[in-house]
Amino acid sequence: MKGVLPAALAANKAQRCLLVPEDNGDQAALVGKENHKSASSLLDVCSYLMGQQTLSLVTSEARAPSCAKTRDLQDIIGQQQGKRALEIAAAGNHNLLFLGPPGTGKTMLASRLCDLLPEMSEEEAMETASVASLTQQEINESNWKTRPFRAPHHSSSMAALVGGGSIPRPGEISLAHNGLLFLDEMPEFERKVLDSLREPLESGEIIISRAQGKTRFPARFQLVGALNPSPTGYYEAIKPEPIPSSFFVI
């Protein structure tokens, strides 16, 4: 079942008890309140409502708020200029643009930025997990405090990037909330798709309007882009020997 975590948060706010499937009990337990219950079937729910049996409370025993890091900046040999750019971007929460020929390590450097960022707070982790629960049924409890790293393909549509649909769903910018959004081959994205990032970058949220109403999703992310200096990947005047990658903080 999708959306269990935000439903549990809403139930806490309303001081109500939430009944969830047993497989989603761990998500409900992440909110830190042990007043929600789980059931294995609708027959158990009916029996509980009729007072014929009791349901078990979901607990936070399985909770493991660790921040597992699978990528380390120390794995990169050399690239001192690129590492310095990452440090500045991480310290000041700057967006970053990598420019250089293929094979100079732009993607590898970008994937290490999350390693430099501090661990998410309890509130930030809850926000990020709530957005993720709207698109997937399970939350990885072993590293749910790890900042998200999203790298959509350059063929992604505007709806896939910013969210949308007849029933609005969060896009990549919301799934990267409190984390990193990496756009490789940035010039290959459609211009209207890149233009759609302007407002979320300024406001930290995206509002999707439909006939039924408006839906607001959080979208506070750090943007990292990568591009080649020319369509061929190299400057035409320096074809025999690729130039080293250069980095800009924007």
Give CATH superfamily name and number for 73-249.
P-loop containing nucleotide triphosphate hydrolases (3.40.50.300)
Percent of the chain at pLDDT exceeding 70: 83
The number of beta carbons lying within 10 Å of the beta carbon of residue 34 is 13
Whole-structure pTM value = 0.76
The pLDDT of residue 62 is 45
Decide if 145 contacts 119 (C-beta within 8 A).
yes
Higher pLDDT, 113 or 72: 113
Tell me phi and psi for residue 194, to 5 degrees. -70, -40
**Which residues make up the CATH 3.40.50.300 domain(s) of the chain?**
73-249
* 190-241 confidence digits (pLDDT tens): 999 999 999 999 999 998 888 777 888 999 999 999 988 877 666 654 444 4
Give the C-alpha separation, 37 to 173, whole Å: 32
